[in-house]
Chains A and B, each alone.
Chain A
Amino acid sequence: DSGVTQTPKHLITATGQRVTLRCSPRSGDLSVYWYQQSLDQGLQFLIQYYNGEERAKGNILERFSAQQFPDLHSELNLSSLELGDSALYFCASSVPPGLAGGEQFFGPGTRLTVL
């Protein structure tokens, strides 16, 4: 158990819908990262927040957005869902803001299925 929690564990929805994925980082971790893992694309970095502020952006679609709240939990919002958005979404947390400073602890993931 990494100490990072993600809800829900599974999510099944239809095309065109909007969903929200939630992540609670380890106690004391200020950085939250979101990743998408699909069979054909592998593990792709989406976005990072550090202490409530967006710090780095990866291959995140405009239909997707995220935020980190004052209590440091984070939410990833996915809208106008398409079949291709079906994937495993991971949240990870770490203490320092930079990548070189420390390991990332991954949550168990949310499996999203878009029908």
Chain B
Amino acid sequence: QQPVQSPQAVILREGEDAVINCSSSKALYSVHWYRQKHGEAPVFLMILLKGGEQKGHEKISASFNEKKQQSSLYLTASQLSYSGTYFCGTEIQGGSEKLVFGKGTKLTVNP
């Protein structure tokens, strides 16, 4: 039931783009994205709901493909502050009210 995130790690230079994927074997109702910096708490990025639109926040956006039960997080023109581990949390259809998180994708942005 745990979603699978890919890649496990990615290293970028400042200004480059990245895509992080999250796949589930279950039909999903919502996908939540969080970023966690080393030694800190996870911080919310966005929620995507079934039937909802692609969301965006500055240079970070995400999509939700309901047919494939996949979500992708797009980071464009990456900044040093984007470094951290990105987690997707999925809620399966039927209103389980439980978020199941993937193992995370470690993003490192170098100057």
Q: Does B103 lie within 8 Å of A99, measured CB to CB?
A: no
The size class of the interface chain B forms with chain A is 20 to 34
Q: Is B56 an interface residue (CB 8 A)?
A: no
Residues of B44-74 contacting chain A, CB below 8 A:
44, 47, 49
Q: Is B81 an interface residue (CB 8 A)?
A: no
Q: Does B41 lie within 8 Å of A106, measured CB to CB?
A: yes
Q: Is B104 an interface residue (CB 8 A)?
A: yes
B93 CB → nearest A CB, Å: 11
A20 CB → nearest B CB, Å: 20
B20 CB → nearest A CB, Å: 15
| Nearest residue, chain B, Cβ from A108 | B41
Q: Does B99 lie within 8 Å of A42, measured CB to CB?
A: no
A67 CB → nearest B CB, Å: 18
How many residues of chain A get a CB closer than 8 Å to chain B's CBs? 22
List 6 interface pairs A-B (beta carbons < 8 Å), by A numbering.
Answer: A44-B101, A45-B101, A48-B97, A102-B47, A104-B32, A108-B41
A3 CB → nearest B CB, Å: 11
Interchain CB contact (< 8 A) of B101 among A43, A98, A105: A43
Complex-state Cα separation, A99 to B89, whole angstroms: 10
Complex-state Cα separation, A104 to B29, whole angstroms: 17
Q: Is A2 an interface residue (CB 8 A)?
A: yes
Known: A42-B102, A42-B104, A56-B98. A100 touches B41 (CB 8 A): no
Known: A100-B47, A100-B91. A90 touches B41 (CB 8 A): yes
Top 5 A-B pairs ranked by shortest CB distance? A103-B44, A106-B41, A56-B97, A43-B101, A42-B103
Q: Does A98 lie within 8 Å of B97, measured CB to CB?
A: yes
CB-CB contacts of B1-13 with A at 8 A, as 1s and 0s? Answer: 0100000000000
